[in-house]
Structure 1
Amino acid sequence: MEKTTSQKIRLGLFVIIGLLIFILAVYFIGDKQKMFGKTNHLEAIFNNVNGLQLGNNVRYSGINVGTVRAIEMINDSTIKVDMLIDKTIFHNIRKNAIATIGSDGLVGSMIINIIPGKGTAVSLEPGDEIHSLSRIRTDDMLNTLGVTNKNAALLTTDLLKITKEITQGKGTVGLLIKDSILANDLKETMHYLKITGKTTSESVTKINELISSLDNKNNVIGVLKDTAVANNIKTIVRNLDESSNKIDKVITNLNSTIVNIKEGKGAINYLSNDPNLVRKIDSTMKNINEASFRLNENMEALKHNFLFRGYFKKQGKAKLKEQKK
């Protein structure tokens, strides 16, 4: 049965639309894989690619800038990865950049992240190799999490055991919680400690005030810190030192005099130790007293003598006038 014209037209449209869809799909996929744009090669060396595959994305500062072109195993610990990087972004990557392999999300496909380096460096040239950094793989993280969960379970078991003993009043903590007498004693102790701390704080405040008042010139310490007072004190001390030296000299002379007196030297020792001289002095004083007594008798006799009576009367009147004045 021959096909009608409408059927042929619909078949042609279907083929054309399918071809356009295929071309668009190839274009978008190729554009995503950087197959049609201008790109430059960039290499990195890893010791483990963690499941990286051809065509995986390459990101620079979180932006998709290329794809993985080739993965070549050099030896058992060295794997070279060749990347195609968009030429418009390539000149922004520096030689101190670092390449790491990570996952696109928690369980997504693997990607290469290029991290900008610190400081300044020159731009990369096509075909250059950048440093790499191996991160912890997901399997390692899961293993670590498994060990951590196991340890957490053991820790939880121990905590439950400890909590049970505390609630039963066992151990020091349980005794503190359950024993009301001990709790009251501890509360009273804390009260006294609080009072002691308050008293200590007040004492420290008073000590600080006392130390601050030392610079005040109205107290003794402040006066002593005054330079003028200090100079006066120095002068007084110096004068006292000189006076002390002079007193020492006087005491030395007195000691020498006393020694001379004890040894019988000088007039004082002669006067004090010679008994004949003492008797003569006593006799002389006795004669002087007798002569004075006789002189008084003679003077009294002269007063009654008619030759001198007038003279003594005049003397008596003159004394009375002076006493009245």
Structure 2
Amino acid sequence: MARTNAQKTRLGFFVVLGTALIIIASYLIGNNQSLFSKTFTVTTVFNNVNGLQLGNNVRYSGIVVGTVKGIEMENDSTIRVRMSIEEKMHRHIKKDAIATIGSDGLVGSMIVNIIPGKGASEVVGSGEEIDSYSRIGAEDMLSTLNVTNQNAALLTADLLKVTQSLKNGEGTLGKLLNDTLMAQNLQEIVVNLKYTSVEANSAMKELNSIIEAIDLEESVAGVLLNDSLMAQKMRKTIQNMETSSVAMDSLLQNLNGTVNQMKEGKGTVNLLVKDTLLANQLQRTMDNIEQGTERFNENMEALKHNFLTRRYFKRQEKESRKKE
């Protein structure tokens, strides 16, 4: 059956319309995925991407500026994420920007948020890496809450044990709570401490009054406190006393040693004290020396009157008188 011109026209119209719709849809999809605009690449490193996938959006200050183009596992704790960002946003993203992973709403897909830096930094280059911040995921929070609940349960059990012990009067605190005699003793101790504090304050006031009554210019205390020369003299005097005490100690030790030797029968002094024969010999020797001295004086007097030596002694007397 031959087609009419109207049918051919209608068919051509639908073909052109469908082609146009396909082109427009492709442009919109490509524009959304940055296929038809200039882009540059920025990378970052995370410890956990929390379900991030290829094609997820990249936002800068809440504005969609690109998509996730690559997720590579470098090692067991490092995941590198490569982002394709529109060229027009290049001048806004600095090297001190920080990348984080979040969610698009409460149950939406994961996205990469780029937070601007606070300092005046340089613009990030294509292919360069920016810092990242890994937020705590829901699983980590649940695990932390579980550990916290377990610790709270253990702490509550311990508190119950402590409370029960206090009720039973166990331990020092339990005795303080239940023993009235100990409470009275503590009260008396507190009263005594207060009394001691009052007495100490009174003593301090008296001491202050004594110090204020001291004449710092005329009294000995004032001289000792203000005169640096006197302080030096006192210091030297004390040092000399220490030196003298050391010397006296050494002398006493030597004297004790001498006395001990005398007690043991050693030395000349012990012989003089105990040996009567030696003492008699010394006495006779001293008597002979005195007699010899008297005879020597007599002989010298005789020489003065001898005619041979008389002139010598007279000359000596004249010279001594001249000197006087």
TM, length-normalised to structure 2? 0.49
Higher radius of gyration, 1 or 2: 1
TM, length-normalised to structure 1? 0.49
